[in-house]
Structure 1
Amino acid sequence: MLSSLEFPDLWHYAAMAAVVFGAAVAQGVGGVGFAMFAAPVAAMFFPQLAPGPLLTLGGFISLLTALRERAAIDWPAVSYALAGRAVGTLIAIYAMARFAPQALGVLFACMILAAVALSVAGLKFSATPGRVSGAGVASGIMGTMTSVGAPPIAIVLQHAAPPRLRATLGMVLFLGSIFSLAMLALADRYTGYHAGLALSLAPFLLAGFAVSSRLRTLLPPRAVRGVLLVACAMGAVGVLVKSFWVH
């Protein structure tokens, strides 16, 4: 495993590129999946990717996802989620400065797994303003601390039509990632090194997104929801892996 500020050699870089490509395909098809797929691998093998570079790349592909289906963006839901995300980000920065983030990461991961289980069992979460805002708070905390911020909002929006789901979630994650990165930079946890590493991996992200453009139309709404729930579960498990592997 590389140290957090060591630039990867060719083989490690190739492995990073493959992870970014696969995660971009997942994100482009289901609206979520980038950090959920990439964060657990980064926690185990590429610690320099999390959280800053993954937030950068994840924010970029989230913007691409939102713009591709921009007519379907639910702007009221975006505003409610972002209000919550701002609060959650501030909580996360405070927690990272004062406490070990492991406990909060484990708590939120378990909550996401419980929500996925309830969704599979047939319970519907209606996207009320309060629930979307609450999901935004959880997203801000998880996203800033672990780079995996999509599951809380995805759970609340899971019954939306696929274009609305992908576009709305993409815009929330893009704007939320900007705020999270700004706060990380102020806390000296996001530097030029991290930005440069993310930029060097951007071509592989774009390639994965291009592939997803062909695949997304092949999946019916029910399949997209299934992909979303699986991705959320994987993201939660990834947070658990990150918490116990790194600490």
Structure 2
Amino acid sequence: MNTELAVLDMAGTTVADDGLVEQSFTAAIATAGVSESDDRYPAMLDHVRRTMGQSKITVFRALLGDEAAAQRANTEFRRHYEGLVAAGHCAPVPGAEEAIRLLRASGTKVALTTGFASGTQQALLDALGWQDLADLALAPGPGVRGRPFPDLVLTAVLRLEVTDLRRVAVAGDTPSDILTGLRSGAAVSAGVLTGAAGRDALLAAGATHVLDSVASLPTLLGVPS
């Protein structure tokens, strides 16, 4: 496969999560008066786990049913998560950076995508020193819906002037990542086992491949090491 573009998720796929999302969710939901001892908390946390990869403001809207409360929770999520990143609780998935460099050296463009706000994505890129690692970094925002809509992939295709969706590969650790890839028409929508979902959940979502890590993606795409 002559791959023109690889669209890669960040937390859980190229960046190790290590529970940062759940910690930040717990801090965020407290703004709505829900503590870990609250009867509502387990169901809310389960929803967060099931919707990993999706835009965080969308998740808070679904949980709280009130725009003002959702915005407060989203702001606190960002503050807490970015604080953890600034404190050094951020590391790449082993082999991820090398895989991205190998893909780009072979002529494949790389876009890093996320369900976080653009400011949070930038905090991750800054902490990792990845500002110039990929060709493009994209987050949900005006005119670009988050996963599982196909917008992030299609926006990357347009901005990077890709000629054929059949030459696009998508990789992520959640069913939402898989659905985004499939809905965009990408030839490869691969799941990775370094994040939120297991093999069965990724295959149930329709993953074309399941990899132990994004580090294996260049080999899957036939990129020589």
Q: TM-score range by the shorter chain?
A: 0.3 to 0.5
TM-score normalized by structure 1? 0.30
Q: Is the helix fraction higher in 1 or 2?
A: 1
- Bigger relative contact order (CA 8 A; separation at least 6): 1
